[in-house]
Amino acid sequence: MNHLPFLDLPAILSAGGTVRLPGSKSLSNRILLLAALAEGETEVRDLLKSDDTDRMLEALAQLGIRVTPAGEGAITVHGCGGKIPVKEAQLFLGNAGTAFRPLTAALALAGGAYHLSGVPRMHERPIGDLVDALRHLGADIECLANEGYPPLQIRPAALNATAATVPVKGNVSSQFLTGLLMALPLLYRTVTVEVVGELISKPYIEITLATMGRFGVDVAREGWQKFTVQAGSRYKSPGVIYVEGDASSASYFLGLGAIAGGPVRVEGVGADSVQGDIRFADALAAMGARITMGPNWIEAAPPLNGSLKGIEQDCLAIPDAAMTLVPVAVFAKGLTKLTGIASWRVKETDRIDAMANELRKLGGTVETTADTLTVYPPANLDELHCAEIETYDDHRIAMCFSLMTLATPLRILDPGCTAKTFPNYFDRFAEVTTAVPVIAIDGPSASGKGTVTQRVAEALGWHYLDSGALYRLTALAARKAGVDWNNEAAVAHIAAHLPVHFAGGLTFLGDEAVDDQMRTEEMGIGASTVGALPAVREALLLRQRAFRQAPGLVADGRDMGSVVFPDATTKVFLTASAAVRAERRYKQLMEKGFSAKLQNILQDLEDRDARDAARSVAPLRQEADAKLLETSHLTIVQAVNQVLDWSGNKAS
């Protein structure tokens, strides 16, 4: 599992390949609960291993349900035949709605005393409609903090033996109806559930009915209004059951295939799927993507001619996968309006606000209402820029924003939140995407890095990063603010908020062009001093990575290949003898009209290199995977050609 505070994603050039999907969360937790309630042993194969399924498995273990390994990652659930063995338990269910809602219903009818709680966000997610329905059946449930919300205390109750019907509202979460239906066979009598008002997310009810059917309970239904569970319905193990791949998780890779060259194929769900979220593929097709499907796979590619087009999409049936339409819409022509998404506001976070806020951080234009979200794609993708993406402990926000790397590099905060449904998501993402290439050129002062880097970038038509300039600017800004170069916290704050921009070949700090001021030997020493402070390096990291834009980047510094771009496609350690470097710097200064003493220059650069090499973080050194380019006896052109040759790229 990924416990990093952040993950920096490089911009990508394209995507293509095949992804084997993890098991469906919705199916996994339904199957676990029904296998637990069933008579007999159920071998569950391809179960999703994630936070939400872990919460369900932990709860079942506490309730006395035995689960044993069955080889090759499968498990055997030893069903209790409807008689939950443990009659008193305190269950912590994290933020797993697919565990909390169905367990509430099953335990309310099980005749025990159970305390159910979750993370703070779970306690803000409504459950009142389900509690009301269960109380109608005679269940004793107390909402311990706020009426209608977890945490809950369930107590043994004399269940109402006469209630033949039970009303439940369906417009906030379909999980209330799911929970109720799955629990009803525990009553051993005929009960009809009547849905009050509109039922959202109907395809999830299809999953519930199909899964109950696999465990031997057929629900008679009249449209989407009435569902009857007959007396004598009992769950029986189907023996072995396979969990389909997760159709919501498929949406990220299908979206990627539609915007980034493709084709991208997902395996584990396909035309035969019981999951409604495969209808996300229809929305992509409506945008012009080329979608093909087999029984167990789906493939997406961009339109053959032209680009995707914006659509108006009712998302009531695909609430989770529909989030992926937000990043996809950024790459379409014309606006995309998503409707019927009020339920987003009561999910892991308020997903309407979260998606809008984070897209705006990247420079996107979004409008929202209580139940809609409209994306206005930029006229030019260059309008989008690198930013830190807040993920709100919501796996889907993290996964959705990975698609934005087709426009810009970005930082995902708390990337480990994908563990809720897709623990290795970012590894799979990296496997099917091609990151913008980087040539990293590191080396000591005055070795010629800047000159060579700039010329290689010009030859290839790639972007250029002079990372030393950012350290020099930090030292200069600190000096202007009267901050001591060794004051780590204050200098790091300055580095994090540098008002720098580059225009017309000049470097601006605020409104002032500062090229001459920052290129002095004094600012070289200042840069080397502030560069030894870990917090300063941390503060400048994303700013440097933001330069990694299509079609490629050539970056010079001291730690380009080791820290900033460890996955650089070519790494060069460019150097020359100290005497040659001192002479080069001397000539450079003379040409600019500065006076200097060769001996002093030699001393300064030896001191600076020693400091850069001795520091504890990102020291100057040749990394094992970097090629050595000794330029003492090379011309600039020879050095440039050698780098181009090593990179395997031809000058454009």
Ligand X SMILES: Nc1ccn([C@H]2C[C@H](O)[C@@H](COP(=O)(O)O)O2)c(=O)n1
Q: Which residues are catalytic?
A: 320
Residue 527 touching ligand X (CB under 6 A)? yes
Across 484-527, the runs of DSSP E, i.e. the strands, are 500-503, 506-509, 512-513
Identify whether the C-beta of residue 12 lies closer than 8 Å to the C-beta of residue 402.
no
Token output for 384: 């989008």
**Which stretch in 88-96, 455-463, 616-624, 632-640 sits in contact with ligand ATP by CB under 6 A?**
632-640
Q: Which of 129, 277, 358, 559 binds ligand X (CB under 6 A)?
A: 559
**Segment 557 to 616, residues that bind ligand ATP, using CB under 6 A:** 584-585, 588
From 464, 498, 435, 34, select the one nearest 237 (Cα to Cα).
34
Query: Structure tokens of 325?
Result: 């339409």
635 binds ligand ATP (CB under 6 A): yes
The response to whether 236 counts as a known ligand-binding position is no
Q: Give dist(CA 356, CA 52) in Å, integer.
A: 26
The sign of the torsion formed by the CA atoms of 185, 186, 191, 194 equals negative
User: How many Å apart are CA 468 and CA 439, to the nearest integer?
Assistant: 16
Q: Which of residues 456-475 bind ligand ATP (CB under 6 A)?
A: 468
Tell which residue, 141, 138, 137, has the closest CA to residue 190.
Answer: 137
Give helix 51-62 / helix 25-37 axis angle, nearest 10°: 10
> Minimum distance from CB of 507 to ligand ATP (Å)?
13
Q: Taking a C-beta distance cutoff of 8 angstroms, is the pair 14, 261 a contact?
A: yes
Q: Is 169 in the site for ligand X (CB under 6 A)?
A: no
Closest residue to ligand X using C-beta atoms: 468
CA-based torsion, 489, 492, 497, 499: positive or negative: positive
Question: What is the total count of residues that contact ligand ATP (CB under 6 A)?
Answer: 16
Residue 531 touches which of ligand ATP, ligand X, none (Cβ within 5-8 Å per kind): ligand X
Check binding of 520 to ligand ATP (CB under 6 A): no
Select the residue interacting with ligand X from 411, 420, 455, 608 (CB under 6 A): 608
Residue 471 interaction partner, one of ligand X, ligand ATP, none, beta carbon < 5-8 Å per kind: ligand X
| Strand ordering across the sheet containing 463-466 | 463-466, 553-557, 438-442, 570-575, 627-630
The SS3 of residue 521 is helix
Least distance CB 559 / ligand X (angstroms): 5
Q: Tell me if 554 contacts ligand ATP by CB under 6 A.
A: no
Show the binding pattern over residues 394-433: x = contacts ligand ATP (CB under 6 A), - = does not: ----------------------------------------
Beta carbons within 10 angstroms of residue 24's beta carbon: 29
Residues 29, 211, 631, 647: which binds ligand ATP (CB under 6 A)?
A: 631
- Is residue 561 a contact residue for ligand X (CB under 6 A)? no
- With b for 16 or more beta-carbon neighbours within 10 A and e for fewer, the 340-351 pattern comes to bbbbbbebbbbb
**Size, binding site for ligand X by CB under 6 A:** 14
- Residue 557 binds: one of ligand X, ligand ATP, none (C-beta under 5 to 8 A by kind): ligand X
Sign (positive or negative) of CA dihedral 522, 528, 533, 536: positive
Q: Of residues 524, 584, 586, 640, which one binds ligand X by CB under 6 A?
A: 524
Name the token pair of 570: 């070519």
Say how far apart CA 205 and CA 211 lie, in whole Å.
10
Q: Is 578 in the site for ligand X (CB under 6 A)?
A: no
Chain position whose Cβ is nearest to ligand ATP: 448
Q: Which is nearer to ligand X, 150 or 524 (CB)?
A: 524
* Choice between 125 and 472, CB closer to ligand X: 472
> Rounded CA gap, 281 and 59, in Å?
35
Query: Minimum distance between the CB of residue 275 and ligand ATP, rounded to whole angstroms?
Result: 55
Nearer to ligand ATP, 214 or 584 (CB): 584
The span of 173-181, 477-485, 497-505, 553-561 binding ligand X (CB under 6 A) equals: 553-561
- List the structure tokens of 486: 């060794």
Within 431-450, which residues bind ligand X (CB under 6 A)?
A: 445
The partner in contact with residue 467, picked from ligand X, ligand ATP, none with C-beta cut-offs of 5 to 8 angstroms by kind, is: ligand X
The Cβ of residue 99 has, within 10 Å, a number of other Cβ atoms equal to 29
Q: Which stretch binds ligand X (CB under 6 A): 1-9, 121-129, 156-164, 552-560?
A: 552-560
Nearest-angstrom CA–CA distance, 462 and 652: 10
Site for ligand ATP (CB under 6 A): which residue of 271, 590, 610, 636? 636
Interface characters, 454-473, with ligand X (x: CB under 6 A): -------------xx--xx-
Provide, rounded to whole angstroms, the least separation between the CB of residue 556 and ligand ATP: 6
Compute the Cα dihedral for 286, 292, 295, 296 and give only its sign: negative
Q: How far apart are CA 391 and CA 368, in angstroms?
A: 19
How many Å apart are CA 557 and CA 138, to the nearest integer? 71
What are the start-end ranges of the H helices in 94-152? Answer: 97-108, 128-136
Site membership for ligand X, residue 571 (CB under 6 A): no
Residue 375 to residue 400: CA distance in whole angstroms: 14
3-state secondary structure of 509: strand
Q: Given the complex with ligand ATP, which of 320 and 466 has the nearer CB atom?
A: 466
Give bridge partners of residue 69 from the DSSP assignment.
75
- Span from 204-212, 428-436, 443-451, 529-537 in contact with ligand ATP (CB under 6 A): 443-451
Question: Residues annotated as binding site for ATP?
Answer: 443-451
Question: Residues annotated as binding site?
Answer: 25-26, 30, 97, 125, 173-175, 201, 320, 347, 351, 396, 420, 443-451
Which positions touch ligand X (CB under 6 A)? Answer: 445, 467-468, 471-472, 524, 527-528, 531, 557-559, 608, 612
Which positions touch ligand ATP (CB under 6 A)? Answer: 445-451, 468, 584-585, 588, 631, 634-636, 639
Question: Residues annotated as binding site for 3-phosphoshikimate?
Answer: 25-26, 30, 173-175, 201, 320, 347
